[in-house]
């Protein structure tokens, strides 16, 4: 694709805002619906939004969608403000955005696999950052940060991301073709 991944023009301003609002609303909505989940693992399908917006509109859009979307979701639910988790969510959206130069389109198998690989890297970096920051802020040890925070968060986010991001990419392909952007 000939998109410039670092661009931040009008299009990026609008889609970063849309991504953040969507992530916030869907996080809030899925919390309200109390979706069934396995054991103590919460089902958080909304995490696919910043990842997909990163893949579709670039890393800055992905970052703002994740960072601001998490703030909005927490503000709606009354969860307070956890800046290191907001930054972690931002990174989770940003890193898939670096896949753009490698994508040939939004529906061929190779592009979908590449996007999924970047999604996994994004989750590891984003949730890794937030979990490790807990060591300095909460004073927990590495084992607790890894087992108590990173694994539960990263596992569900990876599963959500690798399933829903390709579905959204295929659905978005029709719009991308129609708008020619």
Q: Does residue number 175 form part of the binding site for another protein (CB under 8 A)?
A: yes
Q: Which of 154, 152, 13 is nearest to 89 (CA)?
A: 154
CB 62 within 8 Å of CB 89? no
Q: For another protein, give the closer residue by CB, 37 or 102.
A: 37
Q: What angle do CA 28, 30, 36 make, to 5 degrees?
A: 145
Rounded Cα distance, 102 and 19, in Å:
22
Min dist. Cβ of residue 108 to another protein (A): 19
Q: Does residue number 55 form part of the binding site for another protein (CB under 8 A)?
A: no
Going from the C-alpha of 65 to that of each of 56, 139, 150, the distances in angstroms are 12, 29, 21
Query: Among residue numbers 78 through 97, which ones bind another protein (CB under 8 A)?
Result: 78-83
Q: Does residue number 180 form part of the binding site for another protein (CB under 8 A)?
A: no
Q: Does residue number 21 form part of the binding site for another protein (CB under 8 A)?
A: yes
Q: Which two tokens stand for residue 162?
A: 């690798």
| Interface pick for another protein out of 13, 102, 151, 177 (rule CB under 8 A) | 13
Q: Which two tokens stand for residue 134?
A: 């807990």
Q: Which region among 90-98, 103-111, 119-127, 171-179 touches another protein (by CB under 8 A)?
A: 171-179
What's the number of CA atoms in the CB half-sphere (13 Å) around residue 39?
3
Q: For another protein, give the closer residue by CB, 113 or 163.
A: 163
Q: For another protein, give the closer residue by CB, 80 or 109.
A: 80
Q: For another protein, give the closer residue by CB, 50 or 122.
A: 50
Q: For another protein, give the closer residue by CB, 65 or 111.
A: 65
Query: Among residue numbers 108 through 167, which ones bind another protein (CB under 8 A)?
Result: 135-144, 148, 156, 159-160, 163-164, 167
Q: Which two tokens stand for residue 170?
A: 């295929």
Length of the chain: 181
Q: Does residue number 75 form part of the binding site for another protein (CB under 8 A)?
A: yes
41: left (phi over 0), alpha (psi -120 to 50) or beta: beta
């Amino acid at each position: 694709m000939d998109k410039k991944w670092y661009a931040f023009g009008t299009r990026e301003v609008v889609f970063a805002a849309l991504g953040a609002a969507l992530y916030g609303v869907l996080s809030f909505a899925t919390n309200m619906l109390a979706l069934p989940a396995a054991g103590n693992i919460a089902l958080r399908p909304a995490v696919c939004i910043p990842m997909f917006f990163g893949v579709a509109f670039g890393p800055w859009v992905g970052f703002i969608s994740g960072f601001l979307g998490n703030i909005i979701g927490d503000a709606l639910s009354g969860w307070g403000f956890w800046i290191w988790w907001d930054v972690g969510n931002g990174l989770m959206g940003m890193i898939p955005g670096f896949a753009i130069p490698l994508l040939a389109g939004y529906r061929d198998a190779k592009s979908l696999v590449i996007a999924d690989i970047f999604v996994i890297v994004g989750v590891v970096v984003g949730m890794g950052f937030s979990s490790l920051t807990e060591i300095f802020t909460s004073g927990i040890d590495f084992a607790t940060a890894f087992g108590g925070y990173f694994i539960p968060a990263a596992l569900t986010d990876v599963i959500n991301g690798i399933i829903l991001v390709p579905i959204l990419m295929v659905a978005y392909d029709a719009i991308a073709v129609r708008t020619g952007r």
